[in-house]
Amino acid sequence: MIKKAITYDFNNTIIDRIKGPSGISAEEIESYIKKASEIHNILASKREIGGLPFYELPYRKDEVEEIKALGESVKEEMSNSIENVLVIGIGGSSLGGIALIKSLTHPFYNLLPEHLRKTPRIFYAENIDPDEIMGLFELLDPEKTIINIISKSGNTAEPMANFLLFHKFMVEKIGEENFKKHVIVTTDIEKGTMRQIANDIGARTLKIPEGVGGRFSVLTSVGLFPAYLAGIDIDLLLEGAAFMDRLCKNEDIFENPAYMNAIIHYHLHTRRGVNMAVLMPYSQALAEISVWYRQLLSESLGKTYSLSGEVVYAGQTPIKAVGAIDQHSQIQLYREGPFDKIITILTVKNFKNFLNIPALFDSYEGTSYLGGHTLNELFEAEKQATILALVKSGRPNIEITLPEINPFTVGQLLYLYEVQTVFAGFLYNIDSLDQPGVEAGKNYAYGLLGRKGYENMRDEVNNFPESNKRYIIG
Ligand code: PA5
């Protein structure tokens, strides 16, 4: 296991290389030094008074001990027949855990035979798609399944509905008394319906620390508990995050990858109309990190109002891409379409495996050049070719390199993006920690389903003008 720093290379955003409308000069970057120092001081003083609790997550040893203790008892129960953990949660309550499990376990973790896996299979019920939920009913044996329901607010319609469905499904088979041993509730320390239900049924619980929003909660019990159950070294993950924290304490933007990444994205967006940010790992394992990043950016920076109440419509659109797959789809647009994207390539220096491509069918020109190379070399060559092609067509791109994929490097990467996002919030002068747009959708849904206290929302939806048939085809 390589316990090394990830590297952040922004050469391919600089005008010397990126000819055309999207290159940035060193002077443009340096013009942010004063502003960055002001934001740095605001962040430091907010942090000092506990105003940004996500910053402290790498250091909450007590909570980690609680997570491990509960995880150990689940693993013990495994020897008495527990095979599956079903995590119920959505958005910030699911995406971080999924990103950890996909990046840090076997690529086909759930499909591995038990003697190779040794830890429970982990499923996620995120959506409320009846066909998918029925699929889980068909797959999971209640006697062999533990449910981990995660909801910070303890009130969100989707996880609540799925919890009710799985409660009935499980209780019918194993009985009410037994059910409480099969459920673990991760929620706010005291607020919310889910906390009350946990108390009512006497379920085991884990807490989500006060003031840590869903999309910043991957390093709390939200992400750490499922990760621990899947056999991931969560101490090392937090060590990686703490390592990045030390870098991110640097006021000098040329020493701080989170600040520099925020500045480059913000500058290209607000001065050059680069309103999309692509995250493209050349790694299947890191693909779900792009999905986590998509939420982090969207919910944090997509805001109508500035902190002083002006209409600003802030935020870049984050896009998920995966190399080399998307070289055969999106890259055409990125190279030749509008100059409205910045692309971050995630590179893995050392994969766990080296695979030699067999020198077969070497009388054919279409295969002979591959034989004798490794799959790793081909992956690297494809990535380099993409970067070169982007540079040649004047498209700004950044390369973040992980020496290898392990908890230490993934911890760094996640933490870097969280600090970058909060720093960017100050550049845009918006509140990166609220999510009024998400709340509005939740409230309309409550109204439509007749939840008490949301009658105005229901009326608003019901009074929506009828659709004009002329604009409906079919
Ligand atoms: O980041 C956020 O705040 C949201 O995406 C929430 O995580 C999501 O809506 C789920 O909320 P909760 O965990 O309260 O059920």
Q: How far apart are CA 216 and CA 241, in angstroms?
A: 13
The first and second tokens of residue 134, run together, are 């029925």
Average pLDDT value for residue range 120-130: 97
Domain boundaries, the chain: 7-32+253-428, 54-235
* The CATH number fitting domain 54-235, selected from 3.40.50.10490, 3.20.190.10, 3.60.21.10, 3.40.640.10: 3.40.50.10490
Atom nearest to 222 CA in ligand 1: 13
Is the pLDDT confidence value at 80 over 80?
no
Atom nearest to 159 CA in ligand 1: 15
Does domain 7-32+253-428 sit in CATH 3.90.1150.10? no
Predicted pLDDT of residue 78: 63
- HSE-CB at 442 with a 13 A cutoff on CA atoms is 16
Coil/strand/helix, residue 380: helix
Is the pLDDT confidence value at 1 over 90?
no
* Beta strand 397-404 pairing with 7-9: antiparallel
CA distances from 197 to 67, 212, 391 (A): 20, 22, 55
Q: How far apart are CA 85 and CA 71, in angstroms?
A: 11
Is the pLDDT confidence value at 439 over 90?
no
Q: Could you read off the pLDDT of 355-396 as tens digits, one per residue? A: 999 999 999 999 999 999 999 999 999 999 999 999 999 999
Q: Which residues line ligand 1 (CB under 6 A)?
A: 90-93, 151-153, 156, 159, 213-215, 299, 435, 438
Predicted pLDDT of residue 118: 86
Distance 155 CA to ligand 1 centre (A): 10
Atom nearest to 187 CA in ligand 1: 13
> Are both 7-32+253-428 and 54-235 of the same fold?
yes
Pocket test for ligand 1, best of 54, 94, 152, 432 (most atoms within 8 A of CB): 152
Distance 354 CA to ligand 1 centre (A): 39
Average pLDDT value for residue range 85-104: 98
Catalytic residues: 299, 328, 442
Predicted pLDDT of residue 406: 98
Atom nearest to 192 CA in ligand 1: 14
With tokens 């509005």, the residue in question is 440
* pTM assigned to the model: 0.95
| Minimum CA distance residue for ligand 1 atom 15 | 151
Distance 90 CA to ligand 1 centre (A): 6
Distance 209 CA to ligand 1 centre (A): 14
Distance 315 CA to ligand 1 centre (A): 19
| Minimum CA distance residue for ligand 1 atom 5 | 91
Task: Determine the residue type at 17.
Answer: R
| Minimum CA distance residue for ligand 1 atom 3 | 214
Q: How far apart are CA 167 and CA 452, in angstroms?
A: 23
Atom nearest to 208 CA in ligand 1: 13
Distance from chain centroid for Cα 175: 36
Least confident interval from 129-133, 173-177, 450-454: 450-454
Predicted pLDDT of residue 10: 98
With tokens 């409308």, the residue in question is 21
Distance 150 CA to ligand 1 centre (A): 9
